[in-house]
Structure 1
Amino acid sequence: MKKFSPLFFLLFAIVCSCNGSGQNFSKLEWSRVRMDSTWDAPQGRAAEIIGRYSPTIDSLLIPIGRSTGQMDSYAPESPLSNLAADIMLDFATDYLRKSTGDSAAKADMAMTNFGGIRASLPGGDISAYDVMAIFPFDNKVVILDLKGRYVRELFENFARRERVEALSGVKLVIENKKVKEALVAGSPIDDERIYKVATIDFLLTGGSNAEAFKKCDSHIDTQTYLRDMISGYIKEETAAGRVIDARTDGRVTVIKAEEK
């Protein structure tokens, strides 16, 4: 005799329950409900908070400049990372001249980290919100007095790891985990010279393996956030009728053994 599984009886019971003896619907009524902003209208405390912060949020979306095209960030150098480091170098030079009254004062090199660049710069209009999205961390610009031997140590650490950070004022060639060429401000590194190095406070404490920066003789805290520095530059360029442009220029080359 053929046996039926428990599943058969379960399905049979379900089918039997789906007969015509159930409830009959003889009338159907409906009404139209508009799903518009009425249902999203803020009330009470929420409305107060939104009203307080809306002007600030709206202001962040106003264009502060324009770029020639989208700029991405990637190692060992990229248009966006070069732009950030170059702006920092110029900012530090301007800061030193204004703070010391010495028109000849200048920063020798600048460095920020790729990890702190979190998005691409859009092509076309640039807003303050875009800059905040790219540089979301509260990193401030600092200027170090760093001996050449520690600048060399920094680059040698880059070579061992085959990973560099965003640089300006530097020509660096790394091949097979060795520094093949290292120029700062156009000249070979002098181990005893004190270099003016612009960077961010996160790297000053050794972040992103920048342990050499912890050996600086002294440093100046400019009290300027990196993103504010970038925004200020964009606004200045816009006021001068210029669009933001940047590109790679061969300042950093990393040749790994497997690439030879």
Structure 2
Amino acid sequence: MTFKHLIGCFIVLSLIACKQESHLYKIEGEQILISDSLSANHDVEAFIKPYREHVYKDLDSVLTYAVETYTKTNGEFNTAIGNLMADAVYEESNPIFNKRTGKNIDMVLLNHGGIRSIISKGNVTTKTAFEIMPFENSVVVVALKGIQVFELVNYLSRAKRAHPISGLQLTLDRNYKVKSALINGKPIESETVYYVATNDYLYNGGDNMNFFKTNDSLYLLDYKIRSVLIDYFVKKDTLNPVIDNRFIKLK
């Protein structure tokens, strides 16, 4: 496929000297068509070749193996790939958070739309992590009182979407009303502070998750979601995530 770009190349044709001053006399523009028919610059190619090969080698490094193909469309309220991502954020981020604060992450909330690719059956590489999460989103931990967590829960019940969660067990009745909401197996208490891991995009109101803004504290882990996935993959010999009962609707 040929891509056409117009590049304005401004050329100064002449300058007229007037005592100690110079004046721009004329500017002309030339249109140069850029397409794949242009010959490569061999010196440039030779220069970047080792860097390109190094990047490709890193991206193609096999980290783990997936027993099935996982996609964000294979579940109504929770998906195997979404569960994997939320669990990975908890597993990889909690030790960092605990070391810095002495506290533990209570739950994780990510967004369904942030899953940008599938995990294909077979070898899972570094490139897989980049495809799933091509953005530069990082993990943040937000301290929310239970009253704000209730807003989070109500948001999920209204959204009716498989936003990835971990640590939260949410059950809706047949009318999509919240029947039960548990964190670490216990009912949410309105005055208790819960530490919720999410990403900076959602914290800043992405997907209309405005409940994060009313918080007691914000902790920046300086840990990209993509790096979370890579670290998680390296530790797993095999990926076999499942759809479970962490977010369900009763019939």
TM class by shorter chain equals 0.7 to 0.9
5+ residue gaps, structure 1? 1-39
Match of 1:220 in 2: 219
TM-aligned CA deviation for residue 57 of structure 1: 2.0
Q: Following the alignment from structure 1 to structure 2, what is the Cα–Cα distance between the partners of residues 216 and 114?
A: 23
* Pairwise CA distance, 1:58: 2.2
Contact 2:79-2:162 at 8 Å conserved across structures: no
- TM-score, normalised by the number of residues in structure 2: 0.78
Q: Is the 8 A contact 2:110 2:198 kept in 1?
A: yes
The within-5 A match list for 1:216-255 is 216-237=215-236, 242-254=237-249
Q: 2: distance between equivalents of 1:177 and 1:250?
A: 15
TM-score (norm 1): 0.75
Could you tell me whether the CA contact under 8 Å between 1:144 and 1:217 is conserved in 2?
Answer: yes
**Corresponding residue number in structure 2 for 1:97:** 98
Between structures 1 and 2, the one with greater strand share: 2
Please list, as runs of the form range in 1=range in 2, the aligned pairs for 1:173-212 lying within 5 A after superposition.
173-175=171-173, 176-212=175-211
Q: Which amino acid aligns with 1:193?
A: T
Mean Cα displacement is larger for which, 157-166 or 59-68? 157-166
174-183 or 119-128: bigger deviation:
174-183
Alignment of 1:137-152 (within 5 A): 137-152=135-150
CA apart distance, 1:150: 0.7
Shift of residue 99 of structure 1?
Answer: 1.8
RMSD: 2.0
Runs (4+) off by over 6 Å: none
Partner secondary structure for residue 69 of structure 1: coil
**Letter of the aligned partner of 2:197 in structure 1?**
A
Q: When you count helix as a share of all residues, which structure comes out higher? A: 1
- The code of the aligned residue for 2:94 comes to T
Query: Which residue does the alignment assign to 2:134?
Result: 136
CA deviation vs aligned residue, 1:119-178 (integer Å, no higher than 9, x gap): 111212111001100111111011111111111011112223333511111111123232
Sequence identity (%): 30
Q: Partners in 2 of 1:95 and 1:210 — Cα distance?
A: 25
CA distance in 2, matches of 1:216, 1:140: 18
What are the ranges of 5 or more consecutive residues in structure 2 without an aligned counterpart?
A: 1-38
